[in-house]
Amino acid sequence: MSSFHARPTLSQTILRGIASKCPRCGKGKLFSGFLTLRPSCDRCELDYAFIDAGDGPAVFIILIAGFIVVAAALIVEVKYQPPLWLHAALWIPLVLAVTLWPLRAMKSLLISLQFHHKAAEGRLVSRNHP
């Protein structure tokens, strides 16, 4: 096995995921659009057919963003009691920023971790009983 295809360490996997790079070589791009995956790596030709991030990235982002926005909105409401239009002006852009900005990085991080840990669908194993 060449060093080009050597198994990356966990820290390399995390950095490659956050940077939206190929989980194997760390050089090729993972996405062709904002969240659209390429069919394969343009450098090492790793087939991305194994990828199944599902709704995991969105769930993590929603939970984290919800905590941030709700906490900030409660603090502002209790301290300043602004009108509702000001709440909308403050929190709608914040919701967009804390959900869309990290979504791509979270999706690629989960894909890289899936590759690193060789995660796949569960399979039933037949066992011969005496």
Q: Which domain holds residue 73?
A: 3-116
Q: Does 85 reside within a domain?
A: yes
Give per-residue pLDDT as tens, 22-42.
999 999 999 999 999 999 999
Put residue 20 in one of left, alpha, beta given phi > 0 → left and psi -120 to 50 → alpha: left
In the numeric block, the tokens 């669908």 are attached to 121
- The three-state secondary structure class of 37 is strand
Q: Does 98 reside within a domain?
A: yes
Burial (CB count within 10 angstroms: exposed 0-12, middle 13-18, buried 19+), residue 30 = buried
| pTM of the full structure | 0.82
- The three-state secondary structure class of 29 is strand
Number of domains forming the structure of the chain: 1
- Report the pLDDT value the prediction gives residue 36, as an integer from 0 to 100: 92
Q: Does 54 reside within a domain?
A: yes
Confidence of residue 53 (pLDDT cuts 50, 70, 90): confident
What is the tally of helices (H) and strands (E) in the chain?
Answer: 3, 0
Output the CA–CA distances (angstroms, integers) from residue 118 to 6, 23, 54, 77, in the order listed. 14, 11, 16, 46
Give per-residue pLDDT as tens, 80-124.
999 999 999 999 999 999 999 999 999 999 999 999 998 877 777
